[in-house]
Amino acid sequence: MHAENEFEDALTNLWSFVCPCRFSSPSIVSDAEYQAKACLKLSNWLKQNYSDLRLDDLVLDMQSDFEMADSSSPGRGRPSSGDERLSSKPPLGPIIEEIVGTDTKLSTHLCSIL
């Protein structure tokens, strides 16, 4: 997909593949090597500058997934509302950096040989 210039779809599909392993114990993730490679691929793609794409919604959806996972843990995070997201969009740079760092770290936890 990435080669076919369908970047947004490719990023969305890659996120859908990687997202479940973020919130599972590495010992129960099947195909850990593939998940680790997918994490690295996602972080590499997010680091690139796609000035022609509108990644705002995709990146904010990724952040929303993090916040939902944090809010489901006792004493962590808070749920975010869609209205709050629409009224004040945060800068994407720090959010992307957090996702890239988390994916890179997660890939080493999933498969230490990478």
Q: Which pLDDT value is given to residue 73?
A: 52
> Which structure tokens are listed for 31?
């195909």
Q: How far is CA 32 from the centre of its chain?
A: 16
Per-residue pLDDT of the chain (114 residues), as tens digits, is 555 557 788 888 888 888 877 766 655 556 778 888 999 999 998 888 766 567 788 888 888 887 776 665 544 444 444 444 455 777 888 988 998 998 899 888 888 765
| Tally of helices (H runs) and strands (E runs) in the chain | 5, 0
Domain count of the fold of the chain: 1
Give me the domain span that covers residue 28.
2-110
Distance CA 112, CA 106 (A): 10
